[in-house]
Structure 1
C-alpha cells in the first residue's frame, strides 16, 4: 500500500472507526494511539510488553497499515508527532499571555482569507467550475489528509443533489479512483500549500495520463501547479497557523451552494 503523505494517526483512527469487531488488532491500535508520542523511543518488544501482545501480532498490524516493518512505522511516527509544527513559532510555546493574541490573529487571518476570495475571485469562475463538475462523467476530490476529510463532507452534500463524488484517503485509493474514472472526468485538488502536487506525483501523473481535467484550489500558484492544472483558484494568502483548513471548507461550501442554485434547482 502506498501511504506516502498520509498521517499515521489518521490511518490508525480510520482502522478503529471502521473496525466491526474488537479483536487483537483493535486493541493494538488503541495501545499505539495511547503511546503515540513515545513510539519513536519504544522497541517492538517494549510495545509488546506494555500491551501484552506478541511482537508478531504487532508486526502483522503494522503491515496491515501499509508499513513494511516496525522500523519504517516508527520512523513515520517520528516525523509527525510534533504538533507545534502546525503553528507559527511565535505561538508554539507554553505562554498563557499569548492566548488572546493567538485568537485575535488566527481569527483575523481566517477573515482575511475569506475576504480575499470575496474580493479577488470572480463569480464567473465559481460558476464555470460548478458547470464543469455538473457536466463531468466522474468527479473526484484529491488532497492530503485534511482535504480528504473535508472531501467526505463535500461528497455527502453533493450526493444529496444526485452528484456522485469520489474521495480517496491514501495514495493507493486515489490511484484506484484514477484507474476507474473515464477521460471525461474532473479532479478537484485542494492543496493550500501545493504539497499534494509534490507528495503525490504518482496521482498527478496518473491523472495527466488519463486526460482528466485538474482544477486546483490553492494559496500559491506555483509552477508545478500551473504545469498540471487546467484551472487554478487562489483561495487566500495566509496559512501560518492552519488557517488554510478553514479556507478549504469555505470554498467547498461555495461550490455546494452554487451547484444547488445553478444545477440542482433548475433541472
Structure 2
C-alpha cells in the first residue's frame, strides 16, 4: 500500500470511524421528524450506492439546504460530504469481513475449536503481562474512562455495569457518544483504557489520545510500534498477529469477536479477587 493510501485511510476521526454505526445511532435515538433522522435514513437506505450520490440528490430528496448537510456530515465526524463518500470503500471492506467470517460450511466446528485455542492463547499471553497493574489503577485512579468503537462496545458496557455494582464508576466514550469532551479534561490522576482488538480504532483515534494526560492503556492484538508513542502500557491479547501501521482490511475472527469480552471477564475476576475477597 502506498503512502497516499495510508494517509487517506487514516483520515477518520473519533466520530467518523464507522459511517454505518454513526448513522444507525441517529436512527436508533432520534425521532423520525428530526432532520438528522431524515438524512441518516436516506443515506442508510442507499448505503450500497452512497458513493454515487451527489449532495444535490440529498438536497432534492430531503428538502434541506447545503449548509444543513454540511453540519450533519461534520456531526458524524467528516470534514465534507466528499470526505464521507471517499471513506465508503473502507466501510465496505469491513462489511465484507463480517460475511466472510460466518460464510463457512462447518462454522460451528470452526467456532468451537477456535474458541478453545483462543482462550488458552489469551490466558498464556496475559500471564506474561502485568494485568495486576491495570487492576490497581482501576481501583486507585480518580477517573477511569474506556475508549471503544461503538460497534464493539458491548463488553465494555457490561464491564461498566459490573464495576458500578461494586461502587466503581467507569465512563465510556465511543465514536457516537457525545461525551468525548471528557478526554482532554483527564489528568495524571486518571486512567484511559482504549480497547481495539484489530488496532483499527486505536490508529484512527491516536490524535485524540496523544494529548490526554491520564495514564493510558491499550488492549489489542496489533503489535504496531507506533502505539508505543501514544500509550504508557500495551496489553496484548495474543502474540500470533502481525503489526499493521494503517487501517487493516476489517479483520474478523474469534479474537476480534470474542477476545475483548473474555479479557474484561478476566479483568473483573482479578478485581473481585483482589479487592473483595
- TM-score, normalised via structure 2 length: 0.76
Aligned to 1:53: 63
- Which residue number in structure 1 is paired with residue 194 of structure 2? 189
Distance apart, 1:247 and its partner CA: 0.3
The CA distance in 1 between the partners of 2:233 and 2:16, in whole Å, is: 24
* Structure-2 residue corresponding to 1:213: 215
Verify: 1:65 aligned to 2:70, yes or no: no
Contact 1:2 1:171 in 2 (8 A): no
Spell out, residue by residue over 1:206-227, the C-alpha distance to the aligned partner (whole angstroms, 9 max, x if none): 12xx2x2222222233322344
The answer to whether the Cα contact below 8 Å between 1:142 and 1:174 also exists between their aligned partners in 2 is no
Q: Which runs of 5+ in 2 are unaligned?
A: 1-11, 242-249
Say if 1:60 and 1:218 are closer, same or farther in 2 by CA, change over 3 A. Answer: closer
2:203 aligned to 192, 198, 203, which one? 198
Other-structure match for 1:10: 21
1:253 to 226, 247, 265: 265
TM-score (norm 1): 0.78
CA displacement at 1:138 relative to structure 2: 1.0
- Are the aligned partners of 2:148 and 2:175 in contact in 1 as well (CA < 8 Å)? no
- 2:218 aligns to what SS in structure 1? strand
Aligned residue in 1 for 2:49: 38
| CA drift at 1:189 | 1.9
Q: Which is helix-richer, 1 or 2?
A: 1
Contact 2:150 2:176 in 1 (8 A): no
Q: Distance in 2 between matches of 1:163 and 1:130?
A: 12
Root-mean-square deviation over aligned CA pairs: 3.3
Tell me if structure 1 keeps the 8 A contact 2:59–2:65: yes
Structure 1: 5+ residue runs without aligned partners? none
Does 1:77 pair with 2:77? no
Aligned length: 255
Does residue 125 (structure 1) correspond to residue 130 (structure 2)? The answer is: yes
Alignment of 1:50-199 (within 5 A): 51-56=61-66, 57-83=68-94, 85-86=96-97, 91=100, 99-122=104-127, 125-170=130-175, 176-199=181-204
